[in-house]
Amino acid sequence: MFGIGRKLTATAFIILLTAVPSHLQAQAKKQVYTNAATLYTSGKMFTTVQPFQRVDTVNYKAMPAAVKRLYTYSAGLAVCFSTNSTSITAKWCVNKPVTYPNLTPIASKGLDLYVHKNGKWQYSGVGRPDKDCSNGVLVENMDNSEKSFTLYLPIYSELSSLEIGIDSGSYIKSRPETKKRVLVYGSSITEGASASRPGLAYPAALSRRLGFDFINAGVSGSAKMEPAVIAMLNDVKADAYILDCIPNSSDAVVKERALNMIKAIQAAHPGKPIIMLNSIVREQSFVDAKVNAMVKAQNMAIDSIAHNLLKIKTKDFYYLDTNGFLGDDHEGSTDGIHPNDLGSFRFVEKLQPLIEPILRKYLR
């Protein structure tokens, strides 16, 4: 029934089964668990010692501490597998989870499962988090044909362990992908705030729509184009680069670092397209004059740099204006800063037709 969502403590799970006898049959099948680290994970920047971290930060000592911490979060990672199980369950733990005012716990420390159906990726279930460790049913009562699944991991937590459960007697297989890779470096919006679940972060939505592997290099509040961070990003093997990092930097920082960042990526990855975005207009800026002035200054700074690059016909460089990407009814944000699912959907609807021709040209 439409309640506030099943809590997935072991106790609540048992209560649920007791209260809903029709579920007993499916759950009577014993679940067998697989360590998700043995399955293919998409969205990885690197192969890492900790399987669900984005970067082995010990290798990049010069990066700021906040950036290092954020790259231990599993934002944008997704476990890819196929199974004929009629139900899929999960057990997972996160390190020192935090509650954020503008994020659901499902987004910050939960799981989000998609199934491939009728040629498209389709939502099929979430893992509702408890405190540090959680377990629960992601989906059940399916037929027993083999299906492909993508399981998106928490966007604002360090995931320390994940096991995927299937019916006893069924099988699970890793589903390696060999897709072209698009690195997206950006702010909390790139990382996934305020998607209601991990699969609704905009790089994940673009992966499903375009069939490329969008690598989420979003770092909430910390996308400040520091040379040490750009050097790390240049070690990531990717086929295209999207830069959505203006929102986190003052106009002075944009002037100081943006051109250096673009030049460094060009030098490290000649022939690969670089797509620079200006900052979306914050909803708060329609009522707060200082926020309004700040966003205008940020965008004037990057406009000037990008237009100079376009004027001199810089090869493989593209600049996109995100003005209007959240719609015009002011309903597309959670908090005046971060797109909600409505704003994010509109953002993707506007961004996709602009980047698709560029990516299709380079990524064949």
Within residues 210-239, the interface with a second copy by CB under 8 A covers 220-221, 223
Q: Which residues contact 19 (CB under 8 A, 6 or more apart)?
A: none
Amino acid 167 reads D
Q: What is the DSSP letter of 339?
A: B
Nearer to a second copy, 111 or 363 (CB): 111
Separation CA 285–CA 337 (nearest Å)? 9
Nearer to a second copy, 115 or 259 (CB): 115
Q: Which of 1, 28, 49, 65 binds a second copy (CB under 8 A)?
A: 1
Work out the angle between the directed axes of helices 202-210 and 341-362 (0-180°, nearest 10).
50
Q: Which of 177, 256, 341, 356 binds a second copy (CB under 8 A)?
A: 341
Q: Which of 237, 330, 360, 361 binds a second copy (CB under 8 A)?
A: 330
Nearer to a second copy, 218 or 273 (CB): 218
Task: Please tell me whether residue 123 binds a second copy under the rule CB under 8 A.
Answer: yes
Amino acid 353 reads P
Task: Please tell me whether residue 349 binds a second copy under the rule CB under 8 A.
Answer: no
Separation CA 84–CA 70 (nearest Å)? 35
Nearer to a second copy, 56 or 132 (CB): 132
Q: Which of 169, 288, 300, 323 binds a second copy (CB under 8 A)?
A: 288
Q: How far is the CB of 113 from a second copy (least distance, A)?
A: 9
Q: Which residues contact 258 (CB under 8 A, 6 or more apart)?
A: 225, 246, 249, 276, 301, 302, 305
Q: Are 108 and 54 in contact (CB under 8 A)?
A: no
Task: Please tell me whether residue 56 binds a second copy under the rule CB under 8 A.
Answer: no
Work out the angle between the directed axes of helices 251-268 and 289-311 (0-180°, nearest 10).
30
Task: Please tell me whether residue 139 binds a second copy under the rule CB under 8 A.
Answer: yes
Q: Which of 158, 251, 283, 316 binds a second copy (CB under 8 A)?
A: 283
Q: How far is the CB of 86 from a second copy (least distance, A)?
A: 9
Q: Are 340 and 193 in contact (CB under 8 A)?
A: no
Q: In the window 63-122, what residues touch a second copy (CB under 8 A)?
A: 99-106, 110, 115, 117, 122
